[in-house]
Structure 1
Amino acid sequence: MADVTLMKTPAETALVQAFDAAKTTLPGSAESRAEAFELFAERGLPHRRVEEFKYTDLRSLMREAAPFAPTPSAQEAKAALQNAKALPGVEALQIPFVNGHLVRDAIDFAALPEGVEIVPLADALTDGHDWLAKLSPIEWARQNPVYQLNSAFMADGVLVRLWGDVTTPVHLRFVTSSALAVATATRILVIVEQGASVTLFETHESTNGANHQPNDVVELLAGDNANVHHVRVNAEGDQALALSTFAVKLGADVMFNTVNVSAGSNVSRHQVFAVFEGENTKAQINGATMLKSRQHGDTTLIAEHAAPHCESRELFKTVVDDEATGVFQGKIIVPHQAQKTDGRMMSAALLLGDGASMNNKPELEIFADDVQCAHGATCGQLDEDLLFYLMARGLPKKEAESLLVQAFLGEAIETVENEGAREALVGIVESWLRARG
């Protein structure tokens, strides 16, 4: 029988050519990069026959691969950061990236707050920094083709170590300002030491009208008794194809809270891989997604309870308008040793447009016998009785709809403890609703 050779798409061909051209110039181990790219090259861009990408066919959606962005000039970087507006008014230590490159001049490395240490990834890869051994801590991510693409091309990022009570939040800012289509591949590693209490903000912004293609990875390791609050915002431009991965490994007795708010991108896929490595850890993993026009928004979650006596709550709210498409895929995994696990996952979608669609796929994979786990999914329109009630009291229909949508999404956002960040997220929801008309 003759061998069957899969034809590469133009995007896959361009990625192969880009890697061949860049592999000798990128910092760090050429061998590990080649290994990561080989795993991608063997399978190519994932498509609908790959179960994890059944609803987000990247081979079809990514028709061309944009070139990787060059380092911006100091003037370009300064202008890009001044024009960025995500999480306005929130005080934090900023670690900014423009077009995928760390803006070193914006960080005073000699005057960092107590409990914060930052190492540029490019320097760490060149010098063989000890912390590099902590990269790629989760097997679920290492098996993922989007993650492997980032591992092959990552050229810039930071390693951040946090300890003690870090009173100043840390803000990872990603801004793409190029007028042309460009790709980025940043990698962030955040190490939260035992007993530390930290707040981490992460915002992604880009200009409208350009087919930007970010593929960014943030990995977080939380030591025992740590308290971590994480807020992420997708405010990418209207033509962006945004791929992102958040991989977190939690020690024992950790309190962890993360919220992802997404209103940007033409196509987005946000992947969350969470592993409960220590006992008695509690995590709240939330998401609020707003889609309109022909946007496609995918949130994919794997939460592995690898240790007993852990608790997780996953709540994802999606509002879909016009002819947009929403996707939620979530799986809670409980191996045999993780007795006394308490995991509850819920995905709720609100369809505002006649052409709007939502794909929900919650799953439980349980091998322990003493657990409390549940999952659910709902999909529907605004409650007509509530809408009539508000309109009967003098509210115009659009304003009444907006109040109901805000209440629907607010449940996912209200867990944010930082008041300034919570108000900024509410502002994102309100801006989306105003743009709706």
Structure 2
Amino acid sequence: MAIVTPLKTAAEQTLVQQFAEAKGELPGGPAVRKLREDAFAGFEAKGLPHRRLESWRYTDLRSLLREARPLADGAKETEAVTARLASLSLTGLRLVLIDGVFAPELSALDAIPEGVTVHSLADALVQPRDDLGRILSGPSVGADDAGLALNTALMRDGVFVEIAEGTELSQPIVIIALASAESERAVFSRSVVLAGKGAKGTVVEVSEAAGSAAQQVNGAIVFETGDESEIQHVRLLTRQQAASVEVQSLLVTVGASAKFDSFALVCNAGTVRQQHFVRFAGEHSEIGLRGVNLINKAQHSDVTLIVDHAVPHGTSRELYKTIAGGEATGVFQGKVVVRPHAQKTDGGMKSNALLLNEGATMFNKPELEIFADDVVCGHGATVAQIDGDQLFYLMARGLPRVQAEALVLQAFAGEAAEFIADEAVRELVMGEVEGWLHAREAAAEVSTV
């Protein structure tokens, strides 16, 4: 029987060469090295994800990455990085990654609160921890993803944060990931947050390009939260170059009687794929996944998630709002899996999109896989234009059309952002939304002159 071997693209060939050259100097002991080898073997067998894979149907990474850029190999502080860090108004424990590498000299390590420990991922990878392999692997529902496997193989650094049992954080932990390069680079990083029993706090991720060159970013963050914990995660993917390609994976395992919420804002980006692999590991827990995608021109934002109800008495909610103009493309693929023994599951999933013109596109694909009979689960998806009655109401009271549209769109996005518990972080998110809407308003005014 003939064996068909698929031809590797130029990018895939480069990645094979890069891994062969870099694996000897990437951080990690024998167990981590084996994890990298196994992950890359899985990636090499499949290649870059493409449209023939159902979970990557709408984001063809093989076509997007015609060439694999050189690997970023160190934290380089530039004037642009310094300026951007100075302009960020977020307060809390600031942890800075430059080109995927932890930069302690730019981080606020003297402000680490009691009950929190921070290491670079590179340091954590060489520690003799028996649980390291499990932590890095994350939920099993993400095990077959080629994009995540590539991150596992090539992850260079990140932050490793542990929040001790019973610790309640008064201010957020802020992870700022900046791409500094003036030339195109590929960045592979992974961060880990371990929250003990009863821990409470907020973790904010900020991912931006401080340099002028488009980057290829493959990042991941892992959360393991203990019983009775309450953790909120907020991600801001903003200020990217138009030609950038970014894949961000969120891996979450939640204990019993716990609460985990995640919110993500995408705006002023190029091509972004967010993939969430989330697992209930204990009963009577609540998980919320929400986000707002603001896209225009030729931008592309893909949200793909799998929520694994592996135990009974779990509650999950997903809500994503997309506003698309120009020739932008929005994607929502959500899957909720209810295992046979996961009775009393309560799941609700919703994706709402507003298309601002005929050139914009939205793909919605919500799914439920239910193998238990005593559950309450549902999903919904809508794609529409701005409500004409709402516009008429505002314009009849003297508002120009573009301002009336901005108010309607702000309220639409705010329905998802209102779930952010930290008031300062919520205001920051809505400030970014308002800035995007003001830029759209200004562009519309210029076009009518």
Q: Which bracket does the TM-score occupy, shorter chain normalised?
A: over 0.9
CA contact (8 A) 2:12 2:48 kept: yes
CA contact (8 A) 2:353 2:362 kept: yes
The residue that corresponds to 1:206 in the other structure is 209
The residue that corresponds to 1:118 in the other structure is 118
Q: Does 1:180 align with 2:183?
A: yes
Q: Which amino acid aligns with 1:169?
A: P
Q: Does 1:21 align with 2:21?
A: yes
Q: Does 1:101 align with 2:109?
A: no
Q: Which amino acid aligns with 1:150?
A: N
Kindly report which structure 2 residues correspond to 1:133-212, keeping only aligned pairs within 5 A, or say none: 133=133, 134-163=135-164, 164-207=167-210, 209-212=212-215
The residue that corresponds to 1:80 in the other structure is 81
Q: CA deviation at 1:339?
A: 0.5
Q: Does 1:314 align with 2:318?
A: yes
Q: For 1:213 and 1:275, how far apart are their aligned partners in 2?
A: 28
Q: CA deviation at 1:403?
A: 0.5
- CA-to-aligned-CA distance 1:14-73 (integer Å, 9 cap, x gap): 111111111111111332211110100001011111010111111111111111113134
The residue that corresponds to 2:347 in the other structure is 343
The residue that corresponds to 1:58 in the other structure is 61
Q: Does 1:429 align with 2:433?
A: yes
Q: For 1:334 and 1:215, how far apart are their aligned partners in 2?
A: 29
CA contact (8 A) 2:264 2:290 kept: yes
Q: CA deviation at 1:149?
A: 0.4
- CA-to-aligned-CA distance 1:364-412 (integer Å, 9 cap, x gap): 0000000000001000100111111111111111101101110111000
Q: For 1:207 and 1:81, how far apart are their aligned partners in 2?
A: 9
CA contact (8 A) 2:151 2:188 kept: yes
The residue that corresponds to 2:132 in the other structure is 132
Q: How many percent of aligned residue pairs carry the same amino acid?
A: 43
The residue that corresponds to 1:37 in the other structure is 40
2:283 to 262, 279, 285: 279
CA contact (8 A) 2:97 2:176 kept: yes
Q: Which amino acid aligns with 1:101?
A: V
Q: For 2:99 and 2:131, how far apart are their aligned partners in 1?
A: 25
Q: For 2:212 and 2:7, how far apart are their aligned partners in 1?
A: 30
Q: CA deviation at 1:419?
A: 1.4
How many residue pairs get aligned? The number is: 434
1:258 to 235, 258, 262: 262
Q: For 1:108 and 1:411, how far apart are their aligned partners in 2?
A: 33
Q: For 2:287 and 2:125, how far apart are their aligned partners in 1?
A: 32
Alpha-carbon distance change, 53 to 12 in structure 1, aligned in 2, over 3 angstroms: same
Q: CA deviation at 1:112?
A: 2.2
Q: Does 1:239 align with 2:243?
A: yes
Unaligned runs of 5+ in 1: none
Q: CA deviation at 1:285?
A: 1.1
The residue that corresponds to 2:446 in the other structure is none
Q: Which amino acid aligns with 1:95?
A: L
Q: CA deviation at 1:3?
A: 3.0
Q: For 1:67 and 1:379, how far apart are their aligned partners in 2?
A: 39
Q: For 1:211 and 1:204, how far apart are their aligned partners in 2?
A: 13
CA RMSD in angstroms, aligned pairs only:
1.6
Q: For 2:330 and 2:110, how far apart are their aligned partners in 1?
A: 45
Q: For 2:110 and 2:389, how far apart are their aligned partners in 1?
A: 59
Q: CA deviation at 1:111?
A: 5.7
Q: CA deviation at 1:215?
A: 0.5
The residue that corresponds to 1:358 in the other structure is 362
CA contact (8 A) 2:95 2:108 kept: no
Alignment partner of 1:185: what SS?
A: strand
The residue that corresponds to 1:293 in the other structure is 297
Alignment partner of 1:126: what SS?
A: coil
The residue that corresponds to 2:52 in the other structure is 49
- CA-to-aligned-CA distance 1:327-346 (integer Å, 9 cap, x gap): 00001110111101000000
Greater Cα shift, 106-115 or 290-299: 106-115
CA contact (8 A) 1:93 1:171 kept: yes
Q: For 2:151 and 2:122, how far apart are their aligned partners in 1?
A: 14
Q: Which amino acid aligns with 2:18?
A: A
CA contact (8 A) 2:349 2:379 kept: yes
Alpha-carbon distance change, 307 to 127 in structure 1, aligned in 2, over 3 angstroms: closer
Q: CA deviation at 1:106?
A: 2.9
2:381 to 374, 377, 380: 377
- CA-to-aligned-CA distance 1:211-231 (integer Å, 9 cap, x gap): 201101100001000011111
Q: CA deviation at 1:129?
A: 4.0
Q: CA deviation at 1:209?
A: 4.6
Alignment partner of 2:58: what SS?
A: coil
